[in-house]
């Protein structure tokens, strides 16, 4: 069984205008777990599209622009399934 060596990047995201949000996380790994939460801790990850741009950057896709700093983004490094 593989052992996970988890590191985390956390940020508040949303600017009230953008539906596509680029996030540079600097974790140097393609194997990441992306979680998006409301500020009252509701997990909305299933409703957010995202893609890997590089080992240090992802792009998030929303249908409507999230309000300024209205969502908490957690990215975990070293996540293997």
- pLDDT per position as a tens digit, 18-76: 999 999 999 999 999 999 999 999 999 999 999 999 999 999 999 999 999 999 999 99
pLDDT band at 78 (very low <50, low <70, confident <90, very high): confident
Torsion 13-17-19-23 (CA) sign: negative
Q: What is the DSSP letter of 48?
A: -
* In-domain check, residue 2: no
Range of the domain at 56: 7-77
* In-domain check, residue 1: no
* In-domain check, residue 35: yes
Q: Note the pLDDT of residue 18.
A: 97
Q: Is 47 helix (H, G, I), strand (E, B) or coil?
A: helix
For residues 30 and 52, the answer to whether their CB atoms sit within 8 Å is yes
Angle at 40 between CA 39 and CA 46, to 5 degrees: 80
For residues 1 and 52, the answer to whether their CB atoms sit within 8 Å is no
pTM of the model: 0.87
Domain total in the chain:
1
């Amino acid at each position: 069984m593989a052992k996970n060596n988890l590191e985390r990047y956390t940020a508040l995201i949303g600017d009230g205008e953008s539906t596509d949000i680029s996030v540079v996380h600097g974790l140097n790994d393609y194997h990441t777990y992306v979680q998006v939460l409301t500020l009252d801790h509701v997990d909305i990850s299933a409703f957010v599209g995202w893609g890997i741009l590089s080992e240090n950057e992802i792009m998030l896709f929303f249908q409507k622009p999230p309000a300024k700093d209205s969502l908490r983004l957690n990215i975990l490094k070293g996540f293997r399934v």
